[in-house]
Amino acid sequence: MSEFKTDVILKGDCIQVLKSLPDASVDAVFADPPYNLQLGGDLLRPDNSRVDAVDDDWDKFDSFAAYDAFTRAWMAECRRVLKPEGTIWVIGSYHNVFRLGSAIQDLGFWVLNDIVWRKSNPMPNFKGTRFTNAHETLIWAARSQGQKRYTFNYDALKAFNEDTQMRSDWTFALCTGEERIKDADGKKAHPTQKPEALLHRVLLASTRPGDVVLDPFFGTGTTGAAAKRLGRRYIGIEREDDYIRVAEKRLAAVVPANPEDLAVMGSKRSEPRVPFGALVEAGLLRPGDRLYAPDGSREARVRADGSLIHGDLTGSIHKLGALMENAPACNGWTYWRFKTDQGFKSIDTLRAEIRAAM
Amino acid sequence: MSEFKTDVILKGDCIQVLKSLPDASVDAVFADPPYNLQLGGDLLRPDNSRVDAVDDDWDKFDSFAAYDAFTRAWMAECRRVLKPEGTIWVIGSYHNVFRLGSAIQDLGFWVLNDIVWRKSNPMPNFKGTRFTNAHETLIWAARSQGQKRYTFNYDALKAFNEDTQMRSDWTFALCTGEERIKDADGKKAHPTQKPEALLHRVLLASTRPGDVVLDPFFGTGTTGAAAKRLGRRYIGIEREDDYIRVAEKRLAAVVPANPEDLAVMGSKRSEPRVPFGALVEAGLLRPGDRLYAPDGSREARVRADGSLIHGDLTGSIHKLGALMENAPACNGWTYWRFKTDQGFKSIDTLRAEIRAAM
DNA sequence: TCTCGCAATGAATCTTTCT
DNA sequence: CAGAAAGATTCATTGCGAG
């Protein structure tokens, strides 16, 4: 059993290092894999022979096959390392994203969304032979189909987006200027450094404070920087010493946000359940009290066990609400009202009282 | 050798019909194949109305393997039928587009761009479980690598796009309202009719007047309608009699446009907004920073998700502003201020900064 | 005739907990 | 594990009918 440390950069080949990590140990994976088919040594056939540069159709197919084998090898390890309720993010462009997406599906992940990173300042197509390639694609997937309990901070992103739900197209500027890390000689330290804002949104959406985020292609550590800033933990895997040095220096300088500012808008689903009967027990409502439909057209009587009665119809607040409206379902908490000196009030205000006292 | 007519709808299974077409005979292919959606049960909106889902038999496949086999069969025939300098367009969503893209690459096509159709009015995610699925993806590919003589009307598109290069993300509204073809009983005639503006741009970009455009999944004939309007020829393949009838009637009514009239068919410009959360992502504000009400009497703290907190009140800039003022609504952008060396400034100035960088 | 409010709807892989 | 019950959940646009 290997040791499991977080907030570290593990040096080595990503597949080898992944194999050393325990099963079901990380909450999220973010992967920005190489797609240049000739990127030094990454591309090995299943038999470990190296793929040469290629031109003709047959070899092209061969190189796609090699890329697929490589992809499926690291991705399968990521799946093993991921907790059941964890999710994976991968990013790519049209060169490789179809390979990534097919692999994700074939390995048993369940795609939740594809997200478009719309670049506000893309590099123009100088020759005028194609459309300006102005976006990249992220794929977000759960570990398996039917896994409904993945982390998604829906309400946080809705607040972020000024109270309308976050869409699948995100606009960010390229990583340039101050943020772009340069060598001593002024050259960019890494060819594909991602904007930290992108990682900020990814982690805010799909992880919680304290979660462990794994990045098998760590590069200069954008994932780690965003994780640290947001109070998440990270594990980076990187092969190149140069990148590791840059990342370590970068990460040392990152100042985490205060824990109390990392709280985000919570969901109602995460609040404790309060049975309607508890309102009666607490004396906020009494047996015999009347509840009223939103338009006042109907009423029901509260019984001692927290059920409602209307004529010869009885049931929970939800069931009776649905019956009143002849609807397939009804949230009784927001449906029923009770009478006060100041007029009608939702029974949900009484639930809030109980929760506040808890 | 089969007869080769254009401006026709060929009835039958698309693979069978494709086999009857001669080699190297069409200039472009546009294909909107089944998406293999894999839906669960019914989906209800919050108001309990039922979503009219795509549950047609033609969209059901037993497995990814079955879908891949189908995809490669029709796509290989399309490649055979395509002229050497011809290009293919396919459209899909995350359910199927990775399969399409991998097949395109494996069959020897050469991807030129992937294009994002950004929907200005997508259906929301009713249950709050994912990001709003607000786009679909098109793939544009040449018949083979090294084929440089494909048609791309660079200058036309640049003029079309207010003299800047056309990007890979396009914004269009869904096909609704008058454009959406209805049955006699008022139901939509086809579940997935595409907006003609999308096809208009596709054909304008990648074909010339007189070119032959093949659509192997013709449906109600949007490709044919755009082709006819633009002075291109079309060949549609469709299996369902109902769709063919609708398409024939539709096509008969299409009037080819005068070239000078075509310029007006641009897309609605509805650029993405800059949400408040983006200021936090960009580092213009940090979690923990203070915002102040106009009269300075109240303050709130910024959190990582762009929500504000004041005591135990939380919410978006708008919601918390409204709470502060005990008002029904509030424009948070003009309400909140932050402190600088030069005194207080509106957060709206920060939004302007981000927009300027875009 | 014009305005306002309400209903309808679009390629959707759309819940969680307890018995 | 299946089934029942609790309970949470929507954005932009079009069209129609009331006023």
Whether residues B162 and B45 share a domain: the answer is yes
The 3-state secondary structure of B202-252 reads HHHHHCCCCCEEEECCCCCCHHHHHHHHCCCEEEEEECCHHHHHHHHHHHH
Domain assignment present for residue A306? The answer is: yes
pLDDT by residue for chain A (358 residues), tens digit each?
A: 456 899 999 999 999 999 999 999 999 999 999 986 543 444 444 444 444 444 445 556 678 999 999 999 999 999 999 999 999 999 999 999 999 999 999 999 999 999 999 999 999 888 899 999 999 999 999 999 999 899 999 999 999 999 999 999 999 999 999 999 999 999 999 999 999 999 999 999 999 999 999 999 999 999 999 999 999 999 999 999 999 999 999 999 999 999 999 999 999 999 999 999 999 999 999 999 999 999 998 999 999 999 999 999 999 999 999 999 999 999 999 999 999 999 999 999 999 999 999 8
- Report the nearest residue to nucleotide D8, CA vs C1': A269
Q: How far apart are CA A159 and CA B321, in angstroms?
A: 13
Residue nearest to nucleotide D11 (CA to C1'): B124
Please tell me whether residues A70 and A202 are part of one structural domain. Answer: yes
pLDDT score at A358: 86
Maximum C-alpha span of chain A: 84
| CB A148 under 7 Å to nucleic chain C | yes
Residue to substitute from A94, A145, A200, interface B, most B β-carbons within 10 A: A94
B92, two tokens: 């899909």
Q: Which two tokens stand for residue A248?
A: 């370590």
* DSSP state for residue B188 in the 8-state scheme: B
Residue A348, by phi and psi: left (phi above 0), alpha (psi -120 to 50) or beta? alpha
Among residues A233, A261, A289, the one where a domain terminates is A261
Residues A176 and A324 in one domain: no
- DSSP symbols for B63-129: -HHHHHHHHHHHHHHHHHHEEEEEEEEEEE-TTTHHHHHHHHHHTT-EEEEEEEEEESSPPP-TTSS
For chain B, the C-alpha Rg in angstroms (whole number) is: 25
**pLDDT at residue B160, as a whole number:** 78
| A171 and A74 share one domain | yes
- Based on the domain organization, do A290 and A226 belong to the same domain? no
Q: Do B23 and B105 have their domain in common?
A: yes
Number of domains observed in the structure of chain A: 2
In angstroms, what separates the C-alpha of A287 from chain B's closest C-alpha? 30
CB contact under 8 A, B304 and A169: no
Helix then strand then coil, % of chain A, to nearest 5: 35, 20, 45
Residue B271 lies in a domain: no
Of residues A35 and B247, the one with the higher pLDDT is B247
pLDDT computed for residue A60 by the predictor: 60
3-class state of residue B254 by DSSP: coil
Q: Which of A268, A300, A270, A265 is nearest to A285 (CA)?
A: A300
Residue B300 domain-assigned? Answer: yes
DSSP secondary structure letter of residue A122: P
Nucleotides of C under 7 A from a protein CB: 8-18
The count of other CB atoms within 10 Å of the CB of residue B31 is 23
For B77-124, the pLDDT digits (tens) are: 999 999 999 999 999 999 999 999 999 999 999 999 999 999 999 999
> Is B208 in the same domain as B231?
yes
Phi, psi of A34 (to 5 degrees): -70, 150
Same domain, B34 and B131: yes
Q: Does a structural domain hold residue B269? A: no
Q: Tell me, yes or no, whether B78 and B197 share the same domain.
A: yes
Confidence (pLDDT) at B265: 47
Q: In the listed set B231, B261, B291, which residue is the last one of a domain according to the structure?
A: B261
pLDDT of residue B259: 66
- Residues of A within 8 A of B45 (CB-CB) are none
| Closest C1' nucleotide to B55's CA | C11
Please answer whether residues A209 and B305 qualify as being in contact, where contact means their C-beta atoms are separated by less than 8 angstroms: no
Residues A213 and A284 in one domain: no
Looking at the domain assignment, is residue B181 inside a domain?
Answer: yes
Indicate whether A281 and A197 sit together in one domain: no
Judge whether residue B358 has pLDDT over 90.
Answer: no
Question: Residue B262 — pLDDT band, cuts 50, 70, 90?
Answer: low
Would you list the DSSP string of A336-358?
Answer: -EEEETTEEEETHHHHHHHHHH-
Q: Please check the confidence at residue B52 and state whether its pLDDT lies above 90.
A: yes
Which residues constitute the domain of residue A86? 8-261
Domain end point (choices B261, B285, B300): B261
**CA-based end-to-end distance of chain A:** 42
String of DSSP letters for A140-161: EEESSTT-------HHHHHHHT
Whether residue A92 lies inside any domain: the answer is yes
Average pLDDT over residues B24-43: 97
- Listed in sequence order, the DSSP H helices in chain A are 14-19, 57-81, 97-106, 154-160, 196-206, 222-229, 241-253, 277-281, 317-325, 332-335, 348-357
- Taking alpha carbons only, the member of A72, A60, A195, A219 closest to residue A138 is A195
CB B58 within 8 A of CB B34: yes
What integer pLDDT is reported at residue B270 of this predicted model? 65
Instruction: Give the H/E segment covering residue B17.
Output: helix B14-19
- List the CATH number of the domain containing A39: 3.40.50.150
Residue B339 resides in a domain: yes
Task: Quote the CA–CA distance of A75 and A31 in Å, as a whole number.
Answer: 9
Cα distance from B294 to chain A (closest Cα, Å)?
Answer: 20
Task: Tell me if B233 is assigned to some domain.
Answer: yes
Condensed to tens digits (0 to 9), the pLDDT of residues B308-345 reads 999 999 999 999 999 999 998 999 999 999 999 999 99
- Gap from B121 CA to C10 C1', in Å? 8
CA–CA gap between residue A104 and residue A25 (Å, rounded)? 19
Terminal Cα distance for chain B, rounded: 55
Task: Quote the CA–CA distance of B192 and B43 in Å, as a whole number.
Answer: 18
Please give the pLDDT value at position B261: 59
Give CA separation, A277 vs A280, A324, A329, A336, in Å. Answer: 5, 20, 20, 14
The secondary structure of B259-321 as a DSSP string is HHHHTT-PPP--PPP--THHHHHTTSS-TT-EEE-TTSS-EEEE-TTS-EEETTEEE-HHHHH
Q: How many CA atoms lie within 13 A of A226 on its CB side?
A: 28
Chain B 130-159 residues in 7 Å CB range of strand C: 130, 133, 136
Kindly determine whether residue B113 and residue A120, on different chains, have CB atoms separated by under 8 Å.
no
A221 and A147 both lie in a single domain: yes
